[in-house]
Structure 1
Amino acid sequence: MRQFIDAIEKYGEARVAALLDDAGAQSSQEKIKERQNLLKTRAARQKTPLRQALIDSIHHSLATASSREEGLKRLRNEGLTRRELENLARKFDVPVRKDQKINDLEELIINVTIGARLNSEAIRNG
């Protein structure tokens, strides 16, 4: 701390502040670049035909699953991103809110698909 005070006294407050701002700006720019690369990677992964084929496969397996547990296990084993879960929900015409977390989306998809079908079958079969 004493060295910092000595530097301010020697070089002046304005010059030390400028040096600190430059160091902070460089660090911020590096963080921005890392974030942009991460987003590009995620976007590329989400747009691949394999990911879309996976979502289609999950859509089919949930439409034919015999229990909520089976469907939830299948859904969680795939490790879908929030955006992928939103796409899957849209395939089932399930409305999605922005404040819903991944677990909430998984349970919502299961309840609207498998849960609704099982409830309907229970009502019909008495």
Structure 2
Amino acid sequence: MSCVKTLVHTVDSPLYGAVELVATIPTELENARIPISVVLGFADDSAEAPMRLLSYHYALPYRTTQQVVGTALLDTSNDWVRDVTRQLATLISKKFGRPCYVGWSNGAGQQRSVDQLFVIKQCIQFISDNYAS
């Protein structure tokens, strides 16, 4: 039996279009060392379009407190992308008590922005719904 499962979900924002979410979630809940990994990006009609990783953030909870420490593994000059990956990694790590990697990938030339709070809320809800099942 595998110790992780990978799920794909599309977050449909009424104002900004669809954001695709790929999440790798541990199935062994007692092992807190297995990280949660999330990659986000705009759902593109062209499956052939080259994608590039814009931002990658890592967050890790302290063992004895509710604090979370994080770092950008790949930083970007795009503030909203940096904010989404940082906030999502920190919130997931704090909520589930395990390490978390969050990346944002875009197709070449895509410069749209998103409703950050809506996307973060939908991502955390999706992971919560599938975490224990």
TM-score norm. by structure 2 comes to 0.22
TM-score norm. by structure 1 comes to 0.23
Q: Tell me which of the two structures has the higher relative contact order, counting C-alpha pairs closer than 8 angstroms and 6 or more residues apart.
A: 2
